[in-house]
Homo-oligomer: A and B are copies of this chain.
């Protein structure tokens, strides 16, 4: 609205296409017992929701389609299927929340290993195994075995972190986790915790990971079709690296030649999480070799402030 519009030619207040006070009114009727945090979160949510509706001039039919979609998301969800979680992943929200919570940009040249989303398949019950052991309990004929190894170091000193726990989990070569595949996999297949040695090193046998599709029978797939997007996640290995004196790092690692890296349906790929598998010679247990090093920042490290 230009300044000449602020008062109409007839001296009456200028009119606008939409009531300029509506959104503030919806925010302002929050009562005095609302916590400061809820006042901030819901105030921002209401403002963005209304700005969205005005910006696209959302129609009653589109609004009602959204209402029906929201109900369908709740209806199909179950203790083993969280469709609301999946919808927020498809819209990039979980990755963004993970970045907000966990991103650290170092003051020096090297950053700590990037975090990525936990996903729904981590288990608190994975067993400790010895360095050099395999997490493959139930071999799959299509699995390509890999020796994975590396060093866990301190961001600031570059020194190894003995005793750091390297927790790994992955789907089998059929694209399914143990939870999802009880006919082929025993509990804790392709899961394990490894403790870094005195030189901060871990090593284990696992599979080269396999890409898989999100379910194609519910509202999340309907949304993907509406957006003309595929339902594929790139192949990935999950890790969670922890030590009492350091900030933990939960992340996912991806083969560099995976075709879905650029268009991951949940937006969980970052440059430093790309893996370079090499052929492995002379090891009867593995045909592939993977070195992946992890950098943790000290518990009280804040990083660059903005």
A interface residues, Cβ below 8 angstroms from B? 15-19, 22-23, 25-26, 29-34, 38, 40-42, 44-46, 48-60, 62-63, 66-68, 70-75, 77, 82-85, 87-88, 91-101, 103, 105, 226-229, 262-263, 267, 304, 306
Q: Are A32 and B228 in contact (CB under 8 A)?
A: yes
CA A96 – CA B56 in complex, angstroms?
12
CA A143 – CA B140 in complex, angstroms?
74
Copies of this protein chain in the complex: 2
Q: Are A67 and B52 in contact (CB under 8 A)?
A: no
- Shortest distance in angstroms between A53's beta carbon and chain B's nearest beta carbon? 5
| Chain A interface main SS type | helix
Apart from A17-B105, A38-B226, A70-B87, list 4 A-B contacts with CB within 8 A. A16-B306, A57-B100, A59-B101, A74-B75
Which chain B residue has the least Cβ–Cβ distance from A68?
B84
| Residues of B contacting A73 in the complex (Cβ-Cβ under 8 angstroms) | 70-71, 74
A74, A87, A228, A263 — most chain B CB neighbours (10 Å): A74
Q: Are A59 and B97 in contact (CB under 8 A)?
A: yes
| Residues of B contacting A40 in the complex (Cβ-Cβ under 8 angstroms) | 56
| Contacts A72-B74, A77-B71, A227-B30; A94 near B63 (Cβ below 8 A) | yes
Question: Which 4 A/B pairs are nearest by Cβ-Cβ distance?
Answer: A74-B74, A31-B228, A26-B92, A17-B306
CA A40 – CA B19 in complex, angstroms?
23
